[in-house]
Amino acid sequence: MRNPFPYLGLLAGLGTAIVPAHAQPSSPYAAIRGYVYDSLLTLATVPGAHVIITGPTSKTVTADARGRFSADSLEPGEYRLAFSHESWAAVGYVPPDRTIVLKPGTVTPLFLSSTAGQGIFARLCPNAREERTGAVLGQLTDATTNHPIPGAEVRVEWSESVISRELGVSRHLRALRSPTDSLGRYTICGVPNDAAILFRARANAVDGPPLELDLKERPLAIRMLTLDLSDRSSDTASRNRKDAQARGTAVLKGIVRGGDGKPIPEAQVLVLGLDDGVRSTETGAFQLDSLPGGSHTMEVRAIGFSRRREMVNLRPDRPVEVDIRLTRMAVVLPEVEVKATAAKSEFDQRRTSMAGAGHFITRDDIERRNPLRTEDLFRGVPGFSVTPSGGFDYTVVSTRGPGMNGQCSPDFYIDGAKVMVDPQIGGGLPVNPAEIYGIETYSGAASTPAQYQSQSGCGTILIWTQRGGRRR
């Protein structure tokens, strides 16, 4: 298959410079000396970069604090060099391997460089780059055949804070789209690079799951996406049915370790959007079976360690193996713990005194389910369902309305103020799951608090934010 990004290949081809070797006729061995340079992100040498040397003598060396590396006592012959660093892995970039021939009694200087990130951005996004924005580019392929998927769509979503006199600070969903060309390539410019965003692919009426991406103020990220068009269980509509659980033939396995390389037992491993999860064994090993193919986000949690999320491309025909490293989290316990009893908030009062009258979703419930979008919290809630509303948008509807099919739009309140959610406009609910303190749902008028009675007969949904939900 042709290189989907020929400009990357061109720049990468210019990234390794080999200057004339210095003769050392007294030695039967060869040696290399050089620097690793980052033209993609930092425009500086790369301390800690790994250079993997494969040939008659194989070894791996690490660049020092100035980005220098060296290897001695190499048997003469043809070698393949690969170099990597965690900063490139974070944006999805893998420098191409290089082949060199080493002669006995010589020291060969090398200059290993990544591609030029600013140059790529300027070529892909000709308009002036706005502050705190970047670009996401990549290729979408079929997880089964590995063929490009043309005519598909890749969409990026994020939320922004909007300040108004009526609602105060509210959140609005923003989105950018890019079609894929004949080689499955996509490019999205103007993406925020100072906060986490969601992106996903859609092709042939099959929606891939939402994936998380954080550019961390970098100018661009490269993400190669896969979508399993042959496995209908990967269809979002299928996963949304209450009685359906996404199934496939892909396998994800690996080992969970700490920063010191020691295995972490009892770590929780799951694929976001799927109900099943496993815990790592005493050796840190885990395996998840019967997964749908394509690009997914896996999450790993362990007590005493920071949570980690990674994107994985699952294939139906062979297992995918990963090696997860968790960072130990410092826990500071207070010297004195003070307990006090305070008046309960409006949400907590009804939750404890009106058992059975409504359906309540607490902050603990939200953190346990860890949704990517607020609409995901309403799946399985009595009297309500989540339905597609065009593209990648979803709408929460009542299933007990007065209409022919029983579906209609409920009344929404955020921190006690009524808000309009128009499914025709799209954009979803204007609040992020991380900001929610609790949710109340009432499918019928009899159970709805008097001040929130619905005139339409379509039920009422009360969303309380961390700020408003704790208010007494």
Interval 240-258: pLDDT, tens: 443 334 578 899 999 999 9
- Same fold: 6-115 with 346-469: no
- The mean pLDDT of the chain is 80
**C-alpha distances in Å from residue 99, one per residue of 68, 70, 72, 80:** 19, 16, 17, 4
Residue 239 has pLDDT above 50, yes or no: no
The pLDDT score that the predictor gives to residue 12 is 38
Task: Report pLDDT digits (tens) over 154-213.
Answer: 999 887 766 665 655 566 778 899 999 998 989 999 888 888 888 889 998 888 888 888
Query: pLDDT tens digits for 266-325?
Result: 999 998 877 678 999 999 999 999 888 999 989 999 988 988 888 899 988 789 999 999
What CATH number labels 6-115? 2.60.40.10
Query: In this structure, are strands 220-227 and 50-54 parallel, antiparallel, or unpaired?
Result: unpaired
- The Cα-based distances of 72 to 109, 266, 338, 363 in angstroms read 12, 42, 62, 58
Res. 403: pLDDT tops 50: yes
What confidence score (pLDDT) does residue 390 get? 64
Candidates 3.40.920.10, 3.40.50.300, 2.170.130.10, 3.20.20.70; CATH matching 346-469: 2.170.130.10
Closest C-alpha among 341, 317, 163 to residue 226: 317
Q: Which CATH number fits domain 250-326: 1.10.630.10, 2.60.40.1120, 3.40.50.720, 1.10.10.10?
A: 2.60.40.1120
pTM summary value: 0.57
Can you tell me the distance from the alpha carbon of 357 to that of 385, in angstroms, rounded to the nearest whole number? 19
Vertex 329: Cα angle to 323 and 330 (nearest 5):
155
Q: Would you tell me which CATH number, out of the four given (2.60.40.10, 2.30.110.10, 3.30.465.10, 1.10.357.10), belongs to the domain 121-230? A: 2.60.40.10
Domain ranges of the chain: 6-115, 121-230, 250-326, 346-469
pLDDT class of 416 with cuts at 50, 70, 90: confident
